[in-house]
Structure 1
């Protein structure tokens, strides 16, 4: 205990106080480990930031530190990365964004170990359900795991809405199910109807899964050509539109009722991944200072923790309100704030869209929503891995 060496031997009272302080820290650390190992979900209905603040290890609060031992894998060694996320293949000239490690307040994350993941998940299925941010995380988890066992037998089946990747020697399945609203969309009379109170069609694919990780948020605000529906149905009535956050809350409550009615928590772990932020407006990270950039294009470093002051998204306020009323314990993987600091980690123009228009006008059509692989989603999975096993 090098810290105690500064104590003056005659100051007995100070010594006792510091000894007590260290004992309190150790006790808090023990309680966190005990909590994780025994899957005590008693705090999961609150924002994880509050849960973390009740211990000395705040998993979702901290800072990004440069670490030359990262990334854990290279994009060239993981063939499942789709063009949308493969920034190095599509010409991104810088690479420092790959070399940042998330450092939570007062603790260290265990490094992801793919072999350990396979051994502990042997015979089980992990499924990510939601929008393309879930696909981003799904491909990251495959790459992280594959990097530990590159020569074992695997099988990839891409489909719609379900895609699966299997590590055959361990009978471990990693799946992605596309459901950007979670609830169903049905074709009726030539129109796409978003069924805010029906989830039965999607949910039949989620049964008998050992670990389910859900996300939703981005598609609820889409309009025009990117809107995924023509009409909404709620309470037996059709609507051309409604307040999007009201619609989202109705849909998330439908999901919550299905989880409470159908999930056996002795067999299935439920995660909800918080809202993944975008970086289209430099004023959000420049403190209002003048900037020559108009998006995430050209950004090569994270926002420092001291300079960052983000706003908690309305989408997560909706999710929080629903989770508080659920009976089923749901672990919220609160990646919102730590991801908001990573304005440098998006594909921008370095994706599979190699059109000359995009390259010529990078401020007009960059992708500042998704994330490069390797990259930020690897940290999401490191947190996911920690929550599952530690």
Structure 2
């Protein structure tokens, strides 16, 4: 049995490495030479494309996902339209496989997959658990929540899908005078070790007001948040390079997910936010221009000794002004959520692209 599992593990990682070279390896080479961007020498960029209407979507029925919560089930919360459920991501030069949850579980037997980040990581985690449950609805599962960690497991397959809340990745400490973001310190990394697949995310919280930052041994106030973000991501990247063996653990970084708070960005200046948006932006170009976090993420990943695979979701989320909960996040209609995503919905595509990479299509 040990030899069989060892052989299977070897095939799993070999498939990953082949896919990384075909789909993304050339992107890394070009980005090192050209300072960032998409494309490659004959490679296919699965993150460049457009949304197309597809009657076979969504990939699952949220009503049959018993653990979906936290305001992501927009239909349950009263959203009257359903067209946003019917869009499929269509890369310009690729045909990507439809998500196959049973195949995902078979290929992941005995493995631990951990998503680390803010509530958008949880958005992706709930999407993935719903997609897998829909594929094997009669398979027993366990769901355990312990502090900041949520663990969804299929005992039949020995697979665990974990979500660990950590919005900044670097340390946050409370002082008498306020909260301090320690941009050059990571103490939570021990919890990241031992996973077969790690998927990190950090951007959304960096756009919020903050009290104090610690860098270079000094505590300061009023620091540029994007400068702080780059320092923190560099700290994370150095930690990964020093502590994670790329032959044992595959590391992904989820690119910045777009919010939609200003209709001028998609040529609808009368729209104050995402409310009542029912269709994606047409085409494959977002009128609002590049996302402020996009270049920082790519720059930091290029500097790594073993670059994490970038799940470059920025463009595909920019185009989906219609996919947010808006007032259908639960609670009061005064709450406008144009940052997270309805489920079923956009995060399902993040997991489809993750699947595309892992299975080596």
Same fold (TM over 0.5): yes
Q: Does the alignment pair 1:366 with 2:343?
A: no
Residue 73 (str. 1) matches residue 43 (str. 2): no
Give CA-to-partner distance per residue, 1:249-283, whole Å, 9 cap, x none: 11111101100101101100011111100111000
SS at match of 1:60: coil
Which of 330, 349, 361 is residue 352 of structure 1 equivalent to? Answer: 330
Is 1:99 aligned to residue 86 of structure 2?
A: yes
Measure, in 2, the Cα distance between the counterparts of 1:301 and 1:169: 39
8 Å contact kept, 1:111–1:382: yes
Moved over 4 A (4+): 33-36, 46-51
The corresponding residue for 2:141 is 154
What's the secondary structure of 2:349's corresponding residue?
Answer: helix
Instruction: Indicate which of 90, 113, 119 corresponds to 1:126.
Output: 113
For 2:17 and 2:303, locate their aligned partners in 1 and report how far apart those are by CA, in whole Å.
22
Give deviations 1:308-332, integer Å, cap 9, x for gaps.
3242222122222211111013110
Segments of 5+ residues of structure 1 without an aligned counterpart are 1-32, 359-364
Residue number in structure 2 paired with 1:27: none
1:361 is aligned to none
Q: How does 1:284-363 map to 2 (within 5 A)?
A: 284-286=265-267, 290-291=269-270, 293-305=271-283, 308-353=286-331, 355=332, 358=334
CA contact (8 A) 2:102 2:132 kept: yes
Distance 1:299 1:316 in 2: 24
Residue 247 in structure 1 maps to residue 228 in structure 2: yes
- Aligned-pair distance for 1:298? 0.4
Contact 1:192 1:231 in 2 (8 A): yes
1:277 to 243, 253, 258: 258
- TM-score, normalised to structure 1, is 0.83
Unaligned runs of 5+ in 2: 1-13
Q: CA deviation at 1:295?
A: 0.9
- Counterpart for residue 4 of structure 2: none
Alignment of 1:1-390 (within 5 A): 37=18, 39-40=20-21, 42-43=25-26, 45=28, 50=37, 52-55=39-42, 57-189=44-176, 191-200=178-187, 202-223=188-209, 227=210, 230-286=211-267, 290-291=269-270, 293-305=271-283, 308-353=286-331, 355=332, 358=334, 365-390=335-360
Larger Rg over CA atoms: 1
Q: TM-score, normalised by structure 2?
A: 0.89
Count how many residue pairs are aligned between Structure 1 and Structure 2.
341
How large is the Cα RMSD of the aligned pairs? 2.1
CA contact (8 A) 1:42 1:329 kept: no
CA–CA distance in 2 between the matches of 1:102 and 1:38? 19
DSSP 3-state at the match of 1:205:
helix
8 Å contact from structure 1 (residues 345, 372) kept in 2: yes
2:300 is paired with a residue whose SS is helix
Contact 1:160/1:178 (8 A) holds in 2: no
1:58-79 Cα distance to aligned partner (Å, 9 max, x none): 3111111111111111111112
Aligned equivalents of 1:47, 1:127: Cα separation in 2: 27
Matched residues in 2 for 1:133 and 1:306: separation?
23
> For the residues of structure 2 that align with 1:272 and 1:159, how far apart are their CA atoms?
24
Q: Deviations over 1:69-119 (max 9, x none)?
A: 111111111122113211010000111100111111122210001110111
How far apart, in 2, do the equivalents of 1:307 and 1:264 lie? 37
Distance verdict in 2 for CA 1:162–1:112, change over 3 Å:
same
Q: Distance in 1 between matches of 2:200 and 2:114?
A: 8
